[in-house]
Structure 1
Amino acid sequence: MDNLTLEVLVHELTPALLHKTIQKIKQTADRTLMFALRSRKTEFLTVCLNPSHPSLFLTEKENKFAEAVSTDWLVSLRKYLIGGRIVNLSKKLADRILFFDFENNRVSSSLEKLTLVLELIPLKPNALLLHESQEILASFLAQKAPSGVEPAFYKPPETKSAFSVDQITKEEFQLLAGRGSFSTDLESVKILRRRDPLAGFEARKEPPLGSKLSGISPFFVREMAHGATHDPEVLWERFQMILKRVRLGPHSPQIYFLKPSVAPSLPAKVMPSSKATGMAEKILVVPFPFDSLNGIQHQEFLSLNAACIEAYQIFRARSHFLKRQQSLTSNVTAHLKKRARLLESLQADLRKNESFEILKKYASLLYAQQEKSAPGKSMLRVVDLFDPNQAEIEVPLDPRFSVIQNANRYSKLYQKANRSIPSIKARIQKVEAEIKLLDFQQKTLANAETMDDLERALEPPRKMSGQTRVGQDGHAIEGCDTTRDTAAHPQNLLRKAVKSFISSEGLSILVGKSSKDNDILTLRIAKSEDFWFHVAGYGGSHVVLKNPGKLAMPPSQSLLEAAQLAAYFSQARNAPKVEVHWTQKKFVSKPKGSKPGLVRLKEYRAISVRPQLLGGEASEP
């Protein structure tokens, strides 16, 4: 998040955070902290310390983004902050460092003042808990131990820039602007944008002004210079206008999708485009529209907090996609290397067996000898009857056997090698086809842009039969013939493995019949955007609510009915009310080597329902 954008966000969130009390604190495996804040109602402050996307935002509902973890840092936060009240939130204009001041008397009888420091600096974010004296009580990242036994005190990260946006004078700014240069040639920008809509907007590695002035990003520098002359006076006025708008508004938060990829469509406020943006490779959150990014696909929000929530969800979706893509690609690459080694070994065996043609010649020459000498010779010199010149050759012998026994031995070795050649050639043909399929999967995975693309990449083309493909769990599935295996057809799988229902809102609900059928339903039939249900704490069927519209949330009545079916088809059928966990199928995975029906949920929500069977079961598909 850009520093000036963070400045606007802090001003927006400060009224909502002041005087709130910390109820509970959680930390997840993806470097995210969640603070439950209580005043008249409970709200949740989420702080992301991921180096690729340091950010924070406030939500009304708890988001179970990832599996919770326990660390010494988290223990310290809970010890000092739970029960504490936020009394102040501050930030310097030039720094991406937030200071949350707390008052708490949980540890000591007297009122204790503490400060939570959030350094939301890209590539090296950190969080520290400070005593009133600025002594460091705990740190998210490990700190260098001070010499001796003296306590460590907090020092803000040093900046390499000579000037900052909150202290630079007009003369200093004009001096820097006079030395710098900006891409303001509108005609050249227009020519470049015909090839690339982002040409002229991507920040240079070392912007002349941005590298000397802390607190302003290259994109804000480009916005400041957009359409302006090289006159330092004009640039100073535009610089002041940007700072004034950051402080006072008006604000109209935007997300610009700088490198969009295909993904589920966003709400109607997104500018029309042939590609959706839910899996954008690079996004930019700004507090107001940028003239320098005019024409770039973007989305407008009512608040900067809402924009930050959407940006975080896009970041998580992209991270989950890249992690899954990397995992599948690694598995395919590993299988591809194994097949390549097997092919090399088979080809060597084929060359070796084809070279055994000489054994037939040795056997024939030995059989043609009139003298059947006794054992003891290691070599016999004979006339080559197959040579037009009738030259003599040396035939190696095993001293343990006679000539006729050596002839028999050569004959058997030749017959064995001759019999193996067709099978080796058949295996080579099969392995070559498997390598072709794995290579196809590897290229498809590399070009995938959505989770559905990744799933489709694991499905072999219909014309490639009897080959190896890598399944959803990353294991090779051999001999898969998609053209003849009618049992694997989706309709046949659906008929044999699940019960089918229709919700009152017209959506299909599928229920697994057994543990093995649960695996088939979850791993082979359900799509990544479908909704998945299972009763909490009891054995039971997997239930899938189909999501053809790729909605972010299921319709309320369909959600209730699917949860009721999950409770009914479980060991808790006779309970008055049970809890059911639900999530999207893309957050469901199967641990390696686990028993049928056992899965792992990366994130989920819960709903309490009464076990109940729907009035009408759908006909068999």
Structure 2
Amino acid sequence: MSFDGSFTHSMEKELTSLLVTGRVSKINQPYPNELLLTIRAHSKNHTVLLSANPSYARVQITKIPAANPAVPNNFTMVLRKHLSGSILTSVNQLDNDRVLQFHFSGRNEIGDQTSLMLVVEIMARHSNVILVDETTNKVIDAIKRVGSDVNRYRTLLPGSTYVNPPKQDLLNPFTLTNFEMIQKLIIQYPNVDVLAEQLRSTLQGLGNDTSLALAHELHQEGNLADNFKNFFKKFDEPTPVLSELDNNKINFTAFPYPDTVENKTFSTLSELLDAFYASKAQRDRVREQGAVLIAVVRKQLKKNRNKLKNLDKDLKQTEHADSFRIQGEILTTYLNQIERGSNNIELPNFYDDNKPITIQLDNSISPSENAQKYFKKYQKLKNAVKYLHEQIEITQSEVDYFESIQSQIELANPEDLVDIRLELEQEGYLRNHDQHKKAKKNRQKISKPEKYVSSDGTEILVGKNNLQNEKLTMHTADKRETWLHTKDIPGSHVIIRSFDPSEETITEAANLAAYFSKAQNSTKVPVDYTKVKNIRKPNGTKPGYVIYDNQTTLLIDPDANLVAKLRQ
């Protein structure tokens, strides 16, 4: 499972066939390390993702929408200045390395011809996207600037000379003609795993899975050179597959590799990567952009869970309140038998068949004061019971609230984090750094819920956070429409925009409610549904909190494929 040099070779072929001669029409940078170029080629618009994400660096054409920031950053503005309207003349791979070069021809502001190169280097945490002036070989800018204090050999700063990544002393398998070294390796290392390791040290651009697949291929009967060439020929005519391995992990490859349990094919490499990275990259973006929110939620959960434990501990101590009352009454009854200055006394317990009971005394006070001391302890604990129950209820509601926020962040798209941040600021859990600035003319608008359409064409709306949920249920929905939510589980509010929905639509909406909840990966998830008129919001409760009645409960197995089918 790697975007290695051989996979990059296949991607270079795909991008060349689809994009070359196309014109750059849009440039956006929705996330810190990811760039989107819209290139119109062959009468179609293609959105090209250039990612320098440390975990998911890649190049592909994507169909996954992304929300762009309100204000573009400096790198985006530089690219728009130099690349907008330019023509993509070619896409080239550097040897068999994970480096792709996009060559553009355009004109500058005074009309002179320009030759620019946008380089994407896929190198884990060192991944980068660099704009280079091919005429002077100078760096115009980079998505990650690298100064001499970080890398003396290769600085990536505006005005510095562009130097290719250090060349590996390995053989390019796509141009190899002499196979004597490969033959020696096969003889010397008959074990497939060991041979795969040696192939990675000899050939350029082989990931772990590719080298292992090649080792299997070279052990097949037939001519060594033919087996080798046929293996790499498949990268020129890929059949992209998403495979399930023996260890239940999912792998993407340009064609089926050995030892896969099940393969799902795609028409292009880009569609394959969209399917593989859609949720993984999205979760990474949410973690990156929502780091502050995640930290706040974790801190509040830890604090309230610890408080809940202490309150439960104090409540257990109140169970002994009656024993203090009993000891006080016994002391009061036998005051005349108690000598001042005693540390303890044994008296008959008339609440337990006059069995003797030892009562501890404070020798610095009178017997009567000792009795009053026990009554005060009893009264204090008795009063504490009511207070503790109230505090436990409040603290538990805080835990439930932050567990729901945590669940919403886990299910959120990056653009949903804005509403969650706003909610935490409004509730006082997160400081609003803009509060001392000039008041904004317009209040921040709550984003719209996600829209889905059932099999019979009925519109279904899904709130993705508490502010969306509250607006959707309490303001947008008609009282005659149907509301759904997972039973006693944090999740989204779902509204069926129909006064009389079909059973099929209700089931599909219930699937959405189960999928967009904390129980997304569970089975038999209970989902309640009722009319919106049965929903009520108690005064003073948190955003998104409601109570309801007259509900019906369905048990649902969340289905991601159904969710994708219903999405609009």
- The TM tier, using the shorter chain, reads 0.5 to 0.7
Q: Distance in 1 between matches of 2:253 and 2:357?
A: 89
Aligned: 1:380 with 2:382 = no
Structure 1 residues 360 and 304, CA, compared in 2 at 3 Å: closer, same or farther?
Answer: closer
Deviation at 1:36, TM superposition (A): 1.9
Aligned: 1:413 with 2:422 = no
Question: How do 1:451-466 residues align onto structure 2 when only pairs under 5 Å count?
Answer: none
Give 2:267's aligned residue. Answer: 302
Deviation at 1:415, TM superposition (A): 3.3
Aligned: 1:32 with 2:41 = no
Structure 1 residues 152 and 179, CA, compared in 2 at 3 Å: closer, same or farther?
Answer: farther
Q: Distance in 2 between matches of 1:359 and 1:547?
A: 58
Contact 1:49-1:120 within 8 A present in 2 as well: yes
Structure 1 residues 520 and 321, CA, compared in 2 at 3 Å: closer, same or farther?
Answer: farther
Structure 1 residues 595 and 44, CA, compared in 2 at 3 Å: closer, same or farther?
Answer: same
Contact 2:240-2:252 within 8 A present in 1 as well: no
Q: Distance in 2 between matches of 1:407 and 1:110?
A: 101
Structure 1 residues 86 and 323, CA, compared in 2 at 3 Å: closer, same or farther?
Answer: closer
Aligned: 1:170 with 2:171 = no
Equivalent residue letter for 1:246: F
Give 2:161's aligned residue. Answer: 153
Deviation at 1:81, TM superposition (A): 1.0
Deviations 1:468-507 (A, max 9, x none): xxxxx99xxxxxxxxxxxxxxxxxxxxxxxxxxx999453
Secondary structure in 1 aligned to 2:88? strand
Give 1:339's aligned residue. Answer: 305
- Residue 117 of structure 1, aligned match among 108, 119, 134: 119
- Residue 46 of structure 1, aligned match among 44, 49, 56: 49
Contact 1:163-1:213 within 8 A present in 2 as well: yes
Q: Distance in 1 between matches of 2:32 and 2:496?
A: 24
Equivalent residue letter for 2:52: L
Structure 1 residues 418 and 110, CA, compared in 2 at 3 Å: closer, same or farther?
Answer: closer
Contact 2:473-2:493 within 8 A present in 1 as well: no
Question: How do 1:96-135 residues align onto structure 2 when only pairs under 5 Å count?
Answer: 96-132=98-134, 133-135=136-138
Identify unmatched segments of 5+ residues in structure 2: 349-354, 413-422, 425-452, 463-468, 498-503, 510-540, 547-566
The alignment-based identity, stated in percent, is: 15
Deviation at 1:409, TM superposition (A): 3.2
Q: Distance in 2 between matches of 1:303 and 1:150?
A: 36
Contact 2:458-2:496 within 8 A present in 1 as well: no
Deviation at 1:48, TM superposition (A): 3.0
Deviation at 1:396, TM superposition (A): 3.6
Aligned: 1:284 with 2:285 = no
Contact 1:130-1:136 within 8 A present in 2 as well: yes
Deviation at 1:115, TM superposition (A): 0.8
Question: How do 1:384-403 residues align onto structure 2 when only pairs under 5 Å count?
Answer: 384-386=345-347, 395-397=362-364, 403=366
Deviations 1:582-618 (A, max 9, x none): xxxxxxxxxx987999xxxxxxxx99xxxxxxxxxxx
- Residue 75 of structure 2, aligned match among 52, 73, 76: 73
Give 2:242's aligned residue. Answer: 255
Q: Distance in 1 between matches of 2:482 and 2:9?
A: 45
Give 1:517's aligned residue. Answer: 474
Q: Distance in 2 between matches of 1:529 and 1:351?
A: 39
Equivalent residue letter for 1:101: H
Equivalent residue letter for 1:313: A
Give 1:64's aligned residue. Answer: 65
Secondary structure in 1 aligned to 2:82? helix
Deviation at 1:341, TM superposition (A): 4.0
Aligned: 1:138 with 2:141 = yes
Contact 1:22-1:84 within 8 A present in 2 as well: yes
Contact 1:23-1:83 within 8 A present in 2 as well: yes
Question: How do 1:428-507 residues align onto structure 2 when only pairs under 5 Å count?
Answer: 505=456, 507=458
Deviation at 1:118, TM superposition (A): 0.8
Deviation at 1:139, TM superposition (A): 0.7
Deviations 1:40-91 (A, max 9, x none): 45433232333333333336xx752244362222121112111222222211
Structure 1 residues 117 and 524, CA, compared in 2 at 3 Å: closer, same or farther?
Answer: farther
Q: Distance in 2 between matches of 1:323 and 1:524?
A: 33
Using structure 1 for the length normalisation, give the TM-score. 0.55
Contact 1:131-1:137 within 8 A present in 2 as well: yes
Q: Distance in 2 between matches of 1:117 and 1:215?
A: 17
Question: How do 1:299-378 residues align onto structure 2 when only pairs under 5 Å count?
Answer: 299-313=264-278, 315-316=280-281, 335=301, 338-348=304-314, 350-351=316-317, 354=320, 357=323, 361=327, 364-365=330-331, 368-369=334-335
Aligned: 1:207 with 2:197 = yes
Contact 1:526-1:546 within 8 A present in 2 as well: no
Contact 1:359-1:410 within 8 A present in 2 as well: no
Contact 2:461-2:496 within 8 A present in 1 as well: no
Deviations 1:266-308 (A, max 9, x none): xxxxxxxxxxxxxxx633131x333x145x2212233334434
Equivalent residue letter for 1:243: F
Secondary structure in 2 aligned to 1:380? coil
Secondary structure in 2 aligned to 1:386? strand
Aligned: 1:55 with 2:58 = yes
Aligned: 1:240 with 2:229 = yes
Q: Distance in 2 between matches of 1:258 and 1:137?
A: 43
Q: Distance in 1 between matches of 2:269 and 2:318?
A: 71
Deviation at 1:321, TM superposition (A): 9.6
Give 1:269's aligned residue. Answer: none
Deviation at 1:94, TM superposition (A): 1.4
Deviation at 1:235, TM superposition (A): 4.7
Secondary structure in 2 aligned to 1:338? helix
Secondary structure in 2 aligned to 1:297? strand
Give 1:564's aligned residue. Answer: none
Structure 1 residues 150 and 259, CA, compared in 2 at 3 Å: closer, same or farther?
Answer: same
Deviations 1:149-194 (A, max 9, x none): 99422223336664443566423333444444543xxxxxxxxxxx
Q: Distance in 1 between matches of 2:330 and 2:313?
A: 28
Deviation at 1:128, TM superposition (A): 0.3
Structure 1 residues 227 and 164, CA, compared in 2 at 3 Å: closer, same or farther?
Answer: closer
Secondary structure in 2 aligned to 1:95? coil
Deviation at 1:515, TM superposition (A): 6.2
Give 1:94's aligned residue. Answer: 96
Paired positions, count: 437
Contact 1:179-1:208 within 8 A present in 2 as well: no
Identify unmatched segments of 5+ residues in structure 1: 184-202, 262-280, 374-378, 453-472, 475-501, 535-544, 551-591, 598-605, 608-621
Q: Distance in 1 between matches of 2:492 and 2:327?
A: 67
